[in-house]
Amino acid sequence: MPKNVLIGIGGTGSRVIESVVHLCAAGLGPDQLNIFIIDPDEGNGNLTRTKSLIKRYTELRKLYQRAKKDNPAFRTEIIIPPGDEPFVWNIFEEKDYTLGKFINYDNLKKNDPSLANLANILFTEKELETSLNKGFRGHPSIGAVVMADPPMDEYPFKLLWDNIGSLHANDLRVFLVGSIFGGTGAAGFPTLGSRQLIKFNEKMQAKLTADKSKVLLGGALVLPYFSFSVDSNNTEPMFVTPNDFPIATKAALQYYNDKELGFDQYYFIGDSLAQKVGEFSTGSSTQDNLPHYVELVSALASFDFFGQPSIDDVPDKKFFISCREDDRISWDMIPITRNSSNLQEERKALKEKLADFTLFAYTFLSYGKSILEKSHKDVRAEAWYGDNFNKEFKEDNKMYNPRHEENNTLYQLADEYLNDFLFWACAMDANEKIQLVDKSKILNGELTHKGKLKLTDPQEFVANIGEILKDRSNRKDFYVFKKLGLEESVVDEESMTAGSRFLNIFYRASRKFNEVNLVIN
Amino acid sequence: MNKSPVNYLLTIALGAILWIAFAIMMGTYLTENPNLAEKDPADLAGELRLIFGVGALLSIISCCYWYYYGNMNKVSNNLGAAKKKWWMLFVLQIILCVVLTVAIVLMNMSQGIEAKWYAIYFALLAVLTFILFWICTFLMSPRTVKFIPLGK
């Protein structure tokens, strides 16, 4: 069985992993997925968001018993380095590290002036002296130097090589994702993609013959796709703005064209809508951008890579490029697979599963939680609730009482994770050209970055539930959700806690509702 | 049993069976055993058929209305109102039972019928009105309101 490893590089890499995690939650990911991130900017808001998201995903997955027959949510086992081992390679061990410090520039000047002069030719004084705590600030040449020799026998890289001995040719599927136009991604992508570092790493037993390896290396190069506001009073020493993106991209693409890298398959993904994802930031916690549909597409590219059939021989080089038919993004335009005969089926599955999970998140966080806040006596008359909990209700037993205190941890984790999911889904709805999820039907007010989302009450706005996707629907309302969804969803798996049953009821109801509401060709 | 039109048909059938049993099959027993001063037992039987029929018919109508109401989409969002509605219909059936018993008493005041027979008429009317309503709604309420009837 192939082993899948996804490596996110830099801020864009983190954001794509955020999308990967949400797609896995919706049931679209592979069975197992190893993930780690490379980012020197440890406090980066995007990175922090993704780290806590993975933690929530794994904790919720552990606690949430899913109905075996019809709940694909959280099916992917996301594997990260064990225990306290680092999930992120921060590159630098100390704070305020500079390139000068990394190459020991002061010593070079004294002991090896010719080498110091070479450094002076390659790097400006500012590049040598600027602190790299917030990443490489759009200067990939710095990153390429410091990332050239990662510690392969330590976590998180060790995650790559665990069980390498039992793998066959091309069985270790490694997918790198990062931006081509920034700093960390642009530096890390070609560096880690070089032939000797991962693809044909002899020391780690990746290499089989001169042109055959255990590693199948793929990557999504994310071309410029977003924009942000730049503060004219900014006093940072080095930084990148959206104006720098085209020239940086052109230079990088020329490099990839000329260089013989180790990649077997590339995905080039970009967008010209230049959607604004936040305010300018050189890095750190303030670099906390809104999710973007290109990250969803990049995440799907990784699933396409991991889902391809086994290759026994030397793989052919492949390049995948996709573009929009017009200036809109709709469900039937999302590039999802290399296999054109499966395209419609896979798009259908994507739309169904994301719609099911979005509805599940929305209905649980709004109506579901309101039911849990009431006492058993007050809600026992609800048919769907009564069918599931009235008969065997036992106040002091977590298997039969959904309000038992031992079920609260599950609800808390579900609350946090589903809130993150809805934030992600709604944030992609940035303007009228993005025809995926309609945030106005879900949110009561504006999308806020921090804290819990304020959701519309489906019992009050009964029609919203049938229109949460910006696509054709049969416009069914909340009454139908209760009648054909909740009331038809009896979950009676004996080994399941009442808390898990409660969540499964809402997931199943969402599926049943979408079966009658969505128009899927 | 709680699917339409099965619940409607079963309710009508049950109401009709009870009426036939009480007003037709038990008619002779209910009219020939009480002491009647002047009235012909056949006349009393006619009155009982009519009154039992009114009770059963109104009870069937109440059940059918409950099924219709319970199937309405908006009800699922307001079970509090549904509960009030059920209790209102149930109490109305009790009142109907009392009123119809009083009607039998008033129509036969001069006949000297023993009190125990009025108690029996009341009991039979109870079966045909609020007990029929309770049994039918207990067993055959639409899914949305199935836990509303008393005792569910």
Q: Please check whether residue A395 lies inside any domain of the structure.
A: yes
Is there a contact between B112 and B120 (Cβ–Cβ < 8 Å)?
no
CB contact under 8 A, B144 and A482: yes
Same domain? A236 vs A364: no
Q: Please check whether residue A513 lies inside any domain of the structure.
A: yes
How many beta-carbon pairs under 8 angstroms link A with B?
A: 38
The dihedral sign for the CA sequence A116, A122, A127, A133: negative
Phi (first) and psi of residue A185, to 5 degrees: -65, -45
For A220, other C-beta atoms within 10 Å of its C-beta total: 32
For A191, other C-beta atoms within 10 Å of its C-beta total: 22
Distance between CA atoms of A261 and A389, rounded to whole angstroms?
59
Same domain? A302 vs A444: no
Looking at the 3D structure of chain A, how many domains does it have? 2
Interface confidence (ipTM) of the complex:
0.86
B152: which chain A residues are within 8 Å (Cβ-Cβ)?
A: 386
Q: Return the pLDDT at A287.
A: 58
Same domain? A185 vs A319: yes
B82: which chain A residues are within 8 Å (Cβ-Cβ)?
A: 381
Distance between CA atoms of A228 and A409, rounded to whole angstroms?
38
Kindly list the distances between the CA atom of residue A219 and the CA atoms of A30, A340, B117, in Å, as whole numbers in the listed order. 17, 20, 92
Q: Which of A390, A477, A487 sits opposite B144 (nearest CB)?
A: A487
Same domain? A368 vs A220: no
Looking at the 3D structure of chain B, how many domains does it have? 1
- Angle, helices A408-427/A45-63, rounded to nearest 10 degrees: 140
Q: Return the pLDDT at A30.
A: 97
Q: Please check whether residue B124 lies inside any domain of the structure.
A: yes
Retrieve residue B91's tokens. 């109490």
Which residue in A483, A484, A489 has the most chain B C-beta atoms within 10 A of its own C-beta, making it the best mutation to test that interface? A483
Kindly list the distances between the CA atom of residue A229 and the CA atoms of A193, A293, A414, A449, B118, in Å, as whole numbers in the listed order. 32, 19, 34, 17, 88
Give the residue among A28, A13, A1, A12 at the shortest CA–CA distance from A304. Answer: A28
Q: Return the pLDDT at A245.
A: 74
Kindly list the distances between the CA atom of residue B26 and the CA atoms of A395, B32, B117, in Å, as whole numbers in the listed order. 49, 10, 13
Burial (CB count within 10 angstroms: exposed 0-12, middle 13-18, buried 19+), residue A234: exposed
B144: which chain A residues are within 8 Å (Cβ-Cβ)?
A: 383, 482-483, 487
Same domain? A370 vs A496: yes
Q: Please check whether residue B146 lies inside any domain of the structure.
A: no
Q: Please check whether residue B152 lies inside any domain of the structure.
A: no
Q: Please check whether residue B150 lies inside any domain of the structure.
A: no
Contacts for B87 with CB less than 8 Å, ≥ 6 apart: none
Q: Please check whether residue A112 lies inside any domain of the structure.
A: no
CB contact under 8 A, A480 and B73: yes
Phi (first) and psi of residue A341, to 5 degrees: -70, -20
Q: Looking at CA atoms only, how far is residue B152 from chain A in angstroms?
A: 9
Q: Please check whether residue A393 lies inside any domain of the structure.
A: yes
Phi (first) and psi of residue A302, to 5 degrees: -65, -40
Same domain? A248 vs A390: no
Q: Please check whether residue B129 lies inside any domain of the structure.
A: yes
Distance between CA atoms of A150 and A177, rounded to whole angstroms?
17
User: In this structure, what CATH number is given to the domain that contains residue A34?
Assistant: 3.40.50.1440
CB contact under 8 A, B77 and A459: yes
Same domain? A47 vs A196: yes
Q: Please check whether residue B23 lies inside any domain of the structure.
A: yes
pLDDT tens for the 521 residues of chain A, in order:
899 999 999 888 999 999 999 999 999 999 999 999 998 877 677 788 888 999 999 999 999 999 988 899 999 999 999 988 999 998 877 777 788 887 888 888 888 888 888 888 888 887 787 777 666 666 777 777 778 889 999 999 999 999 999 999 999 999 999 988 777 888 889 899 999 999 999 999 999 998 999 999 999 998 887 666 666 665 555 556 767 777 778 887 888 888 889 999 999 998 876 666 665 455 555 556 788 999 999 999 999 999 999 999 999 999 998 777 788 899 988 999 999 899 999 999 999 999 999 999 999 999 999 999 999 999 999 999 999 999 889 999 999 999 999 999 999 999 999 999 999 999 999 888 899 999 999 999 888 776 789 999 999 999 999 999 999 999 999 999 999 999 999 998 889 999 999 999 999 999 999 999 999 76
Distance between CA atoms of A38 and A189, rounded to whole angstroms?
10
Kindly list the distances between the CA atom of residue A304 and the CA atoms of A341, A420, A446, in Å, as whole numbers in the listed order. 14, 24, 34
The amino acid occupying position A108 is: L
Cis peptide bond N-terminal to A156, omega within 30: yes
Minimal Cα distance from B80: which residue of A?
A381
CB contact under 8 A, A482 and B77: yes
CB contact under 8 A, B144 and A390: no
Same domain? A298 vs A383: no
Kindly list the distances between the CA atom of residue A249 and the CA atoms of A99, A178, A207, in Å, as whole numbers in the listed order. 23, 12, 31
Same domain? A82 vs A151: yes
Q: Please check whether residue A288 lies inside any domain of the structure.
A: no
For A438, other C-beta atoms within 10 Å of its C-beta total: 18
CB contact under 8 A, B76 and A483: yes
- Supply the range of the domain harboring residue B86: 6-141
Cis peptide bond N-terminal to A315, omega within 30: no
Q: Looking at CA atoms only, how far is residue A4 from chain B in angstroms?
A: 46
CB contact under 8 A, B144 and A381: no
Retrieve residue A128's tokens. 């040598």
- A516–B contact, CB cutoff 8 A: no
Chain B positions touching chain A (beta carbons under 8 Å): 73-74, 76-77, 79, 82-83, 143-148, 152
Q: Which of B77, B143, B148 sits opposite A487 (nearest CB)?
A: B143
CB contact under 8 A, B77 and A462: yes
pLDDT lower than 70: segments of chain B: none
- Supply the range of the domain harboring residue A411: 347-517
Give the residue among A245, A174, A228 at the shortest CA–CA distance from A204. Answer: A174
Same domain? A310 vs A403: no
Same domain? A251 vs A358: no
